[in-house]
Amino acid sequence: MNENQTPHRHITVLLQEAVAGLNVRPDGVYVDGTFGRGGHSRRILAQLGEAGRLVVFDKDPAAIATAEALAATDARVSVVHNGFATLQAALSERGIHHIDGALFDLGISSPQIDEAARGFSFRFDAPLDMRMDTTRGISAAQWLAVAAEQDLHEVIKNYGEERFSRPIARAIVAAREIEPIATTGQLARLVAQVVRTRERGQDPATRTFQAIRIYINRELEEVAAVLPQAVAMLHPGGRLAVIAFHSLEDRIVKQFMNQHSKPAPLPRWAAVKEVDRELPPLRLVGKAQKPGNDEVSANPRARSAVLRVAERTAGLFAHE
């Protein structure tokens, strides 16, 4: 979405491709692990029959309100106000032990970025919150007030891939001795004083804000936690579809799918024919997909999206 579009309007990325990747069965049980404003969910529901079921997850209270309004009019929908890392436990509580497909649209949504009070964006001077779920956990401001300089450096370097992470961390520690870093504007100005060079068109604070957001919401840990849970719950023939917007997220997804779509490595001395090797638990479905030029033109925030799809086989999965 560009700056001239209606604020808070969420444009679902790779809508057709992601749902097509699920290969929805009318009577199947599906999971939308990141409901957002329901774009993918509504497309899935349009392909489900009366016996189908859809369980949606989200941390964001605003997204949950939208999801509950949908569930109030559609008995096939169940809503979980929690992160998708709780997948197995939440589904088990609802009597669901196997699913036919799971879709995860990772990262942050346009309404979260564009709502100043959420504190995700340096474009507004607002309270420095950054929590996807504002009902639990500590805010970015609370973390910046107590984090050790080394921890700040490691988070900004590892999650933001920021080469100026150490001087930024040092500046944060020095600044908070004078006054709390309580707003997005304070943090953005502080980083701009340290980061003198940046890629053309990118704000100096981009990588730092990204890193803190990822850390506060445990985004990478949750992705790594949910993938084996989803595969363990998939029926053979069920599909796992993941849209990533950041290279760190996509790396986790790519490595997981690649690892589990190949037979387990054998010792060099093992004399086993290729046809006799154990079937891996996943089969890759097509190549990674990216938005086309038309979609990127209509929604510039889609430009970094990558969709990967894998299908569950009858092969043994170690996490089952």
Residues within the annotated binding site? 38-40, 58, 84, 105, 112
Closest CA to 34 of 69, 73, 72, 60: 60
**DSSP 8-state symbol, 177:** T
List the structure tokens of 111: 């309404």
User: Which residue is listed with tokens 């340096």?
Assistant: 122
What is the distance between the alpha carbons of residues 116 and 124, in angstroms, rounded to a whole number?
6
CA distances from 266 to 27, 256, 263, 270, 276 (A): 39, 19, 9, 6, 12
203: three-class secondary structure by DSSP: coil
Within a 10 A sphere around the Cβ of 290, how many other Cβ atoms?
Answer: 15
Q: Are 158 and 146 in contact (CB under 8 A)?
A: no
The dihedral built from the CA positions of residue 191, 210, 258 and 319, taken in this order, carries a sign that is positive
76: three-class secondary structure by DSSP: coil
List the structure tokens of 300: 């510039």
Binding-site residue positions for S-adenosyl-L-methionine: 38-40, 58, 84, 105, 112
